[in-house]
Structure formats: C-alpha cells, structure tokens
Structure 1
Amino acid sequence: MTSSAASYNRIRIGSAPDSWGVWFPDDPRQVPWQRFLDEVARAGYEWIELGPYGYLPTDPARLTEETSARGLKVSAGTVFTGLHHGPAVWEKTWAHVAEIAALTRAMGADHLVVIPSFWRDDKTGVVLEDRTLTPEQWRHLTTQTERLGQEVGDRFGLRIVVHPHADTHVDTEENVSRFLDGTDADLVSLCLDTGHYAYCGGDSVKLIETYGERIGYLHLKQVDPEILAEVVANEVPFGPAVARGVMCEPPAGVPALEPVLAAAQRLDAELFAIVEQDMYPCPPDRPFPIAERTRRFLRSCGA
C-alpha cells in the first residue's frame, strides 16, 4: 500500500443512482435498477445510496437480498424538504421523511441526506418562489431542520446531513455559512457536495477547514468551468445545465478532488465520500465506463 493510500483510510468511497442518470423513481430514460446494481458493483464500489425513493425496491428484505448478492451496502437515503415554509408543512414533510428513514435504517445505514426544495423547477426552469429567503423563512428553515434532526435521530437513529444544492436556498458560501451558524451542531450536519458547492462559487477545502466539525458526509463531483461560466452568465436552470454537461467526469473539472480528500482525512471523523456525477438524461451505456474510470482515478488519489 502506498503512503497516499494509507492516508485516506478514514474515507469510504461509494456511488449512487445519480451517477447512472437516475433522478426519479420511475422514468423510461433511466436504466433499470437491476442494471444499476450490477454495474455499480462491477465498477468497484461497495457502498451505494438509495437514490430517489421507489427506484430501488422499498421492501427491506428484497433490497437486502439484492444488494448482498452483489456485495453492496447502503450508506444513506435521501429526502427533499421545504422546511423554510415553516410548521405548516411539517406533517407532510414527516410523512415523506419517515417512510424513507425507515428503509434507510432497515438497510443498516446511519445517514439521511436532506436536500432543500428548489426555488425553480429543475426540469422546466419555471420559477417557483423568490430565490432569496426572508428573515422569517430563514428562522423556519433553521428551526424546522433542527426539529427534523431531532426527530430522525430519536425515532430512527439516523443523522441528517443537509446537502447544499444549486437552485435551492442553501447554495452559496454565504448561505451555507448562515445555515450552519443558525443550526445546532448536535442536530444538523452537512453533506458537502463538491460539485454543487463549486457550481455556486464555493471552495470545498476552505469549507472543510472552516466548519470541519459540521462536515458529516461528502458527495464527490466536479463541474466543467467553461460550461459553468455559460450557465451562470445565461442564468440556465440546474436541470438544463446538467443536460449541457456542467457536471463532468473527474479529473477534468473543478474542484480538484485530492485536496478535498486530504482535507477531509484531517478531520477527526470517518466519512463517506459518495461519487455523484449528475447526468440526467443520459444514454444507458454511458454511466458504467465513467463510473469504472472514476473509481480507478480515486484509487490513484489514495481513496
């Protein structure tokens, strides 16, 4: 083992349905779930996320059988929330979260990735609400996220990790810092997605070094700087930006992943680092070779 490989022994690498162009529970343009499981294992990954709820089997016994047969384990589930709308949306939110949290727990995972709702539709680009939160909405967002962290922890034994995401209200360095400063570290951690953070102008290494104790999970991806510049200049919504190839195969884009992994390794924590290359929609034969090359690249970095 090289010294570099030994240095990243606290980071567990995985992948996700997202890297196979899967954004929805059911879509004819997406690869069947059996093919995803076959290929993610063949590409050299041991850990996966559940992806959109309903894409993979939701019966824990069936899913355990399917993943175990391929040597795979689940690292996290994912939920979408609009908690800045306040207590009025709590019951609807909890019904959605509880179903996914139960499956996540049954699969032996410890994390629930929480993605804030989009201010414009990721498929159509239709503006759904103001892109800037009011002070009251910020209070709702922070207090209701803390409530979610408490409830998910108490009822399911899971840790929530909030995912800053393009075209949501938790996106830029300023908004991510405001969110972290406004929430309790014991209840709310961050899922740092290196691609989304770069997409929104942030520096992942700086964030890890500044808020290290809040980093609970990583998504590894890169953006193509030239396409990103066009996307920003023309205010292209996230979905069409992905279709243009704004998220690219490493190591062709930014940020460089080895410094991110090195900064994460210096934290006093074991972390999942899940590869997520947004590619919806994409030809069914495209994801596997990219996933295989990406796994090889990360091994060359020592991960």
Structure 2
Amino acid sequence: MEGIKVANAPCSWGALEFELGAAAPDHLQVLREIGETGYVGTELGDWGFMPTDPIALRDVVSRFQLDLIGAFVPVPLVKEAAHKRGVEDALRVAGLMAQAGYPDAFVVLADDNGTVPERTSQAGRVRADMGLDTAQWDRVADGAMRVARAVKDEYGMRTVFHHHCAGYVETPEELDSLMTLTDPQLLGLCFDTGHYAFGGGEPVAAVKKYGSRIWHMHFKDYDPHIGQLSRTKGWDYFESVKQGVFCELGKGNVDFESVLNTLGMERYRGWVVVEQDVLPGMGTPKTCAHNNRVYLSQLGL
C-alpha cells in the first residue's frame, strides 16, 4: 500500500521490556536478521539493548540499511510519584533518537505492563471490577500528557500510547477511557492488533473508530484457541505468550486485509511494525519474521 513501510522489532526475537532472567540474541543478530527478512525499519528495544551513544546507534542501524522508528517507554502511570521518572526516561530515549538523526521516531509510551500481579495473572480476561476508578484514570491521563508534552517541547517529537495486555490499559473500554481523557493533538495511539484482540476487542472496528488518532501501527496476530486455553487453564500473561497466543500473521483471527483496507481509507501513511512477541529462547524468530513478511507481501504490503 502506498506510503506504508514495514518494520519489525526486537521483541520478535525475545528482547522484551520485561525482566525475565533469560538472554535474548544480541542487537547485531537482531538487526541483521530484520534486514535479511525484508524489513526496512526497527524499534529501539529496551534501553541498553542497542548502543546508547547516538553516533554508535546511528552507525549500527544504518549498517543494516534500516530506519529507527520508535522506542518503547514503560511508565507506571497510575502512580503519580512515578511521573517525574517517566518523563526523564522518555526524554532520555527521545534525546538519543533525535541526536542519532531520527527526529521522526516515536516515543511509544505504555503502562508498566507485567508488574501488577492481578492484571498479569488475568490478562485476556480482565473483569470490570479490576479497573481504575475516576481519580486513578485522571492520574494516568495526566502522566501520559506530561510525558507527551515534555517530549514535544524538548525535541519536537511525537508520543503514542501503546495499549497492552497485563497492564491497566488492556480492554477496549480502558483504551477508550484513556483516549477520551487525553489531547488527540498531543498524544497519538500506537494501535496493536494482537493486544486489542487478546484484550477482548475487534481490531478492524477499532481502526475505524480511532482513525486519524492512530499515528503508529503494530501488527500482531492473536490465536483465539490459545486465548481460550489461557482462560480455562488460568494462565498468566507470560504463559499465554509462551504458549503462542501471539502467532504468526495469518494464523490467528485478526483480519489484516480489512485492517489494511481501513487504514487506506483513513489515509494512513505511517509505519507498520510486525511484532510476534516471544520469550527469550523461544522458537525460530528469523523464520517467523520471514513468514510474516511473506504474508504481508501477499496482501500487497
């Protein structure tokens, strides 16, 4: 599709933002294999996964003919005391990307997912009584806006919010609450098809609903069979990922053709980032990345 470029991300190789006590491949292998499997961009990964010196970062990303398009920044937004540190973390990442010569990259802001036991243990089956109250929602929205405003004021860069299972912004209702409470000119949406489906939503309907609020896209598929097993067996978020709840594109129930058609109608001209989250040491990431790129090519992307 015209104007859309396709990237992958270190999380597809097991380089996740979570402290899981297992080693993922190093950044050289990840970047090399992203390029070899047909992608033209990457996200930064967790702080320290790639070089934190801007010259070294630019050198290694360009060595593999890739563009750097964003960086994930988790912040426990429900805790007001964490907002200052969240702003500092976001500015550190934004500064690195800007100084490395990637001023159009996004800060991908998210809740500090996987750290609240109740939400982590119930990912994909969150009950209404497990959500935030009005004061907590105001606190989350205020923190997100503080981050987005600081990044824009300091570096002129944009911030998008990534809804995510095992966090406080998982379900369609929770995402809608945050979008309603925040400024659409200042905070965009990083829409993730797989997390939205696992969280109980219908991705095509959401793309239609949020339209131009979507500034960044993550393509992830969702296996409803594994999702059902997660519910019946009581798996937590990490066990669900280990069991393959986020499967190769085209093997789950996300209608990517309709998602792409809707993005086209919305005149989306940004990046599509393929993410097939794996835990460190799982599977064959390069093979999956290749298969996912072939699948998208068959859809004209």
* 1:92 pairs with 2:85: yes
* Alpha-carbon separation, structure 2, partners of 1:56 and 1:80: 17
Cα contact 1:119–1:131 (8 A) shared by 2: no
- Which of 34, 43, 65 does residue 40 from structure 1 map onto? 34
Q: Is the 8 A contact 2:40 2:65 kept in 1?
A: yes
Partner of 1:190: 189
- Is the contact between residue 75 and residue 82 of structure 2 (CA under 8 Å) also seen in structure 1? no
Match of 1:294 among 289, 292, 295: 292
Amino acid at match of 2:111: P
Are 2:116 and 2:167, in contact at CA under 8 Å, matched by a contact in 1?
A: no
Following the alignment from structure 2 to structure 1, what is the Cα–Cα distance between the partners of residues 232 and 157? 39
The answer for the alignment partner of 2:125 in structure 1 is: none
Q: Distance in 2 between matches of 1:264 and 1:113?
A: 20
Q: Deviations over 1:202-248 (max 9, x none)?
A: 11111111121211111001111111111133442211111111110
Does the CA contact (< 8 Å) of 2:87 and 2:150 recur in 1?
no
Other-structure match for 2:111: 116
What is the aligned-residue RMSD (CA, Å)?
2.1
Query: What pairs up with 1:157-176 in 2 under 5 angstroms?
Result: 157-176=156-175
Is residue 112–residue 161 contact of structure 1 (8 Å, CA) maintained in 2?
Answer: yes
TM norm structure 1: 0.90
2:76 aligned with 1:77 = no
**Of 96, 103, 107, the match for 2:96:** 103
- Shift, 1:97, TM fit: 1.6
Give the structure 2 partner of residue 138 of structure 1.
137
The alpha-carbon distance between structure 1 residues 175 and 24, as it changes in their structure 2 partners (threshold 3 A), is closer
Rounded Cα–Cα distance in structure 2 between residues aligned with 1:141 and 1:82: 8
CA distance in 2, matches of 1:187, 1:92: 20
1:271 maps onto 2:270 in alignment: yes
Deviates more, 1:223-232 or 1:130-139: 130-139
Q: Which moved more, 1:9-18 or 1:19-28?
A: 19-28
Could you tell me which of 3, 10, 29 is aligned with 1:17? 10
- Superimposed CA distance per residue, residues 95-134 of structure 1 (whole angstroms, 9 cap, x where no aligned partner): 2222111112234143111111236458x9579xx94212
Deviates more, 1:75-84 or 1:104-113: 104-113
Residue type of the alignment partner of 2:84: E
Once residues 14 and 38 of structure 2 are traced to their aligned partners in structure 1, the CA distance between those partners, rounded to angstroms, is 18
Structure 1 segments, 4+ long, off by >3 Å, are 24-28, 119-122, 124-127
- Tell me which residue corresponds to 2:261: 262
Question: How many Å separate the matches in 2 of 1:161 and 1:63?
Answer: 22
Displacement after TM superposition at 1:255 (Å): 0.6
Partner of 2:113, secondary structure, is coil
Q: Which residue of 2 aligns with 1:61?
A: 55
**Partner amino acid, structure 2, of 1:63:** L
Is contact 1:79–1:97 with CA below 8 Å preserved after alignment?
A: yes
- Provide the C-alpha distance between the structure 1 equivalents of 2:17 and 2:147, rounded to a whole number of angstroms: 23
Query: Are the equivalent residues in 2 in contact too, given 1:205–1:260 (CA < 8 A)?
Result: yes
Amino acid at match of 1:66: V
Percent identity (aligned):
29
Equivalent position amino acid for 2:177 in 1: R
Q: CA deviation at 1:90?
A: 2.1
CA distance in 1, matches of 2:185, 2:87: 20
1:47-72 C-alpha deviation (Å, 9 max, x unpaired): 10001111111111111111111101
1: CA distance, partners of 2:114 / 2:249: 28
Please give the secondary structure, in 2, of the residue aligned with 1:98.
Answer: helix
The equivalent of 1:29 in structure 2 is 23
Instruction: Give distance in 2, aligned partners of 1:22 and 1:185.
Output: 30
Unaligned runs of 5+ in 1: 1-7
TM-score, normalised to structure 2, is 0.91
* CA positional deviation for 1:198: 0.3
Residue correspondences, number: 291
Q: Displacement of 1:93 after TM fit?
A: 1.5
The gaps in structure 2 that reach 5 residues or longer are: 123-128
Which whole-Å CA distance do the structure 2 matches of 1:265 and 1:53 have between them? 33
